[in-house]
Chains A and B, each alone.
Chain A
Amino acid sequence: MAKTHITTTVNGDEYEGLAAPGQSLLSFIRDDLFMTGTKEGCGTGDCGACSIMLDGRLTCACLVMAVEADGADIETIEGMAQGNELHPLQRKFLEHNGSQCGICTPGFLVTAKALLDKNPNPTETEWRFWLAGNLCRCTGYDKIIRAVMDAAEEMRGN
């Protein structure tokens, strides 16, 4: 089967590529665009390591076909820092050691930012349920929760 030409915007830049039949958006981002910050932990939407923003909506890139991303606006972890300035979530992950092995970290950061975009002051319980789709096997979540709560507080200007 022939591949399909697609055009997507990723972190503000336009990319063209050929999506293979059956190819996931995750594979397209990683293997065709070489943006390997978006991770694959399961390929079935269960671990959240491939979390991206797709047209403003938090999405597991492994559950979307690459062809579906034609004309879409995508944000990945690579677009989170502004120049040399880390996003507060990224900084707080570093300060609290919210990232141990780091494989789940991009997914957690993208997911956490999606919550802060609509709720600047989540409770601990809201955080825990919002992040329940992201698996971490290293931290026990303690330092991740502290990091995102601290980042939210800083972003509220406290």
Chain B
Amino acid sequence: MPDDSFDQRYIPKEHRFVGTTPIKQDGTDKVTGRAVFGADTHLPGMLVGKVLRSPHAHAEIISIDTSKAETVKGVKAVCTSADFPDIGNGMFADISTNCMARGKALYDGHAVAAVAATSEAAAKEALKLIDVEYKVLPHVIDAKEAAAKDAPILHPGRRPKGMEIDYDTNITERGEWKMGDVEAGFAEADFIVEDEYVTQPMHQGYIEPQACVANYTEDGQAELWTCTQSPWVFRLRMSEILKMEVSRIKVTPSELGGAFGGKTSFYADPLAVVLSRKAQRPVKIVLTRGEVLRSTGPVSGIHTRVKIGMTKDGKFTAAEGEVYMQSGAFAGAGLVNALTGMLCRYSTPNVHTFGFEVASNRPKVNAFRAPNVPQTCFAVEGVIDTLSKQSGIDPLDLRLKNAAAEGFKNLHGETFGPIGFVDVIEAAKKHPQYSAPLGPNQGRGVAAGFWFNRGGETTASVNLSSDGTVNVMLGTPDVAGSRISMSLMVAEELGIDPGRVRTRLADTSALGYNHSSAGSRVTFSSGLAVIECTRKCIATVCKRAADTWGIDADSVAYEDGVVRPAGANAGDFEPLTLADICGKAASQGGAIAGHAEIVAKGAGPGFAIHICDIDVDPQTGFTKILRYAVIEDCGKAIHPHQVEGQYQGAAVQGIGWALNEEYIYNDKGVMENPSFLDYRMPVASDLPMIDAVIIEVPNPNHPYGVRGVGEVPLTPTMAAVGNAIGNAIGVRPKSLPMSPPKLLKLMEENELPVAAE
């Protein structure tokens, strides 16, 4: 009989279902229009909620008069910060104030009031009649300018984390990490390159705007249907900012129409709950694209200074990194990711990183695919390319000479286990694109990327039905095919066809706490949980069979959906199928189910190399992507099509970040391009096919070797594009986006005729 204590170690073996590509079970609903996304829920009596937003980047709110708005026919509720409990200071208070401005508007688009009405027209009319008196204050947009002593201060009286200072500042945090002796390391170097690079904030760009329906009822319960990566996090935060008992709130995740980190925080959801409480009717709020761009979090833009020292034979002796991160209107931008993630893929013995998070009059930043590592890669991989040119060492060879491998203790104190960095570099060297010929005005760039991959709090349940088919309840919303991946892992454990396993998303009342679908943690963490659930089910199935036969529970064997007597009893009884055993559950102790509540640990880090070939038009500065390859170690591809899709999609997001996407603020601090026409994301005609190469170096801490997939493939992209442009035009651009006017200017400044490779 199988041991029901859970062993998460990797076991090398042939798989029947893991690694195959069946059509995902949520697919049909998506191609027929049936899938229910955030905006697709309709409840009887539902009201339309609309939000009034600050037109100023920074302004004191002197008064808000809602009396006229309340008289509009059809208006059922109006809310302002006065309807939210004052919960003092701290993270939850900041979350509340970001959702609804209190005292000051801190960015263009900051919510200041909201209404619920029986029609959209009435709601819009009411918004016009809300009278807000503002006192406009000086504002600051750029992180470095905001860090200056004379900058307008967003939060007077606050002091940064990690710094002892006695004056007001927009710096919200200072961090520092050190390893070895950096000065001694630089003294040993034959080459030292130091440079500064600037990245712009980038919006996650999910096509589905945030949308929710809230229903607060007379008995003090609230239900929320919303598009979220984080149902339990939403519930906890809602309970904190509205002072409600956690279990009175039920969050049901809808299909997620793209998220990429941007739906780990809520914006209008608490407004909908408050409006519903006041109106005693369900309230739906769907953000417009303009609201999404003006008020929901992009990821930080970062100023990065990098200095790397290297010997003649290409070994890095020391590295230093300094960052200024724009965190938006509030603290908390994930500085630690930038400081520990920027250099740890290289086995440099002496490393020092430090940096600052700085508040400015922009929307609070949010997570986005390996938050803050891609920006630092743009800088680090640029410096490494310069070192490659100075030393004449091939760029991939140079990365190979310095690649971290098993046993290297990195800056954040983790000793790497078996990792695939060397494997991906070697695969990249052999990739045909790396030796394909280039024409005039064309360039090739390579860059390496990294992400930690995460674990964390996770729950799941597996229920066997009377016919032996299986339902899996998943607590981590499906951002990238996780339902089919869970079904495949459960099917593999049970040895039954994946078509007999159906995975669905749980609401917050159906399972215990789950951390967000974020950090590339889902296939690893929820994978561990559903495997544990399934093994518990198998143990019960075996016991039921043994009881039926009147033999010891350890005298039976389970394989491929069938229990057989084993050992001394082998052949004594007819085998029993899952359906045989599950069908008798009522007379044998009840339904067969397994549940798991874990804090997943041991997610293996992931590494990638991207190869980018581009063509720069010397007349216009326009960059065309000619060829693009993503070579990445994901540990194990449970469903390879889903993995390839992640590699390709992330790379294309990075291409957008590299070439086009940026926030344009006018001199009043108002965003001038809050639409998909002007915030230009890549379209099909911008791109070639993206070659996705899956490398599998198993994670020793997952039965199938899973690491994580979705974040690593954004990390090297802008660097690969930037290095390619540098090789095409002869000078490496150091700020994003690398748009045509900027490239033309760069070529002019450097008096560069566009050179043939």
Contacts and interface: CB of A to CB of B under 8 A. Distances in A.
Interface of A: 20-23, 27, 30-31, 34-44, 46-47, 49, 76-78, 80-81, 86, 90, 93-97, 99-106, 109, 125, 127-129, 131-146
Nearest to A87: B31
A94 to B, nearest CB: 5
B266 to A, nearest CB: 18
B33 A37 contact: yes
Contacts of A31: 42
B26 interface: yes
B256 A44 contact: no
Contact of A143 (B27, B34, B255, B644): B644
A135 B683 contact: yes
A12 B286 CA distance: 30
15 contacts: A37-B33, A39-B207, A41-B209, A42-B675, A94-B24, A101-B479, A103-B255, A105-B30, A106-B31, A128-B684, A134-B683, A138-B258, A139-B649, A140-B690, A142-B690
A116 to B, nearest CB: 15
Contacts of A27: 120
Given A46-B675, A94-B27, A142-B689, A101 B34 contact: no
Contacts of B481: 97, 100
Contacts of A140: 645, 648-653, 682, 687, 690
Contacts of B21: 97
A19 B29 CA distance: 28
B39 interface: yes
Given A40-B209, A132-B685, A140-B649, A90 B480 contact: no
A104 B33 CA distance: 10
Interface in B558-606: none
B187 interface: no
A46 B676 contact: yes
Interface of B: 21, 23-24, 26-37, 39-40, 42, 119-121, 204-209, 255-260, 286, 288-289, 479-481, 641-642, 644-645, 648-653, 675-677, 681-687, 689-690, 692
Nearest to A22: B121
Nearest to A38: B33
A120 B255 CA distance: 33
A97 B24 contact: yes
A39 B23 CA distance: 23
A59 B335 CA distance: 45
B121 A101 contact: no
A46 to B, nearest CB: 4
A43 B651 contact: no
A94 B22 CA distance: 9
Contacts of B642: 97, 100
Nearest to A89: B31
Contacts of A20: 119-121
Contacts of A43: 288-289
B681 A100 contact: no
B207 A41 contact: yes
A36 B258 contact: no
Contacts of A38: 33
Given A86-B28, A137-B206, A100 B684 contact: no
Nearest to B647: A140
Nearest to A141: B684
A141 B208 contact: no
A49 B377 CA distance: 33
A6 B286 CA distance: 26
Q: Would you list the 7 A-B pairs with minimal beta carbon distance, nearest first?
A: A37-B33, A103-B257, A102-B30, A140-B652, A140-B648, A46-B676, A77-B33
B676 A39 contact: no
Contact of B32 (A37, A136, A141, A142): A37
Contacts of B208: 39, 41, 101, 103
Contacts of A128: 684-685, 687
Q: Which of A30, A125, A138 has the most CB of B within 10 A?
A: A138
Contact of B677 (A44, A103, A146): A44
A86 B207 contact: no
Nearest to B204: A137
A138 B650 CA distance: 7
A139 B677 contact: no
A136 B686 CA distance: 12
A20 B260 CA distance: 36
A44 to B, nearest CB: 6
B268 to A, nearest CB: 15
A122 B641 CA distance: 25
A23 to B, nearest CB: 8
A137 B648 contact: no
B684 A34 contact: no
Given A94-B27, A99-B27, A102-B255, 6 more contacts: A77-B33, A81-B32, A94-B31, A97-B642, A104-B257, A138-B258
B643 to A, nearest CB: 10
A127 B207 contact: no
Q: Which of A76, A95, A97, A136 has the most CB of B within 10 A?
A: A97
Given A100-B645, A136-B207, A140-B652, A44 B675 contact: yes
A137 B653 contact: yes
B32 A86 contact: yes
A78 B683 CA distance: 25
A97 B24 CA distance: 8
A123 B94 CA distance: 52
A94 B21 CA distance: 11
A62 to B, nearest CB: 10
A105 B31 contact: yes
Contact of A132 (B288, B652, B683): B683
Nearest to B31: A90
Contacts of A46: 289, 675-677
Contacts of A144: 684
Given A94-B23, A99-B30, A21 B209 contact: no
A105 B29 CA distance: 10
B127 to A, nearest CB: 14
Contact of A139 (B645, B675, B685): B645
B155 to A, nearest CB: 33
A61 B35 CA distance: 19
A65 to B, nearest CB: 13
A155 to B, nearest CB: 16
A36 B207 contact: no
Contacts of A78: 32-33
B31 A99 contact: yes
Given A47-B676, A102-B26, A106-B33, A145 B645 contact: no
Contact of B31 (A30, A93, A139, A146): A93
A143 B641 contact: yes
B33 A35 contact: yes
Contact of A36 (B40, B641, B650): B40
A36 B653 CA distance: 27
A100 B37 contact: no
Contacts of A136: 207, 684
B684 A42 contact: no
Contacts of A22: 121
Given A41-B289, A101-B255, A136-B207, A141 B27 contact: no
Contacts of A125: 685
B260 A137 contact: yes
Given A138-B258, A139-B649, A145 B30 contact: no
A39 B257 contact: yes
A31 B119 CA distance: 11
A97 B686 CA distance: 21
Q: Which of B30, B206, B260 has the most CB of A within 10 A?
A: B30
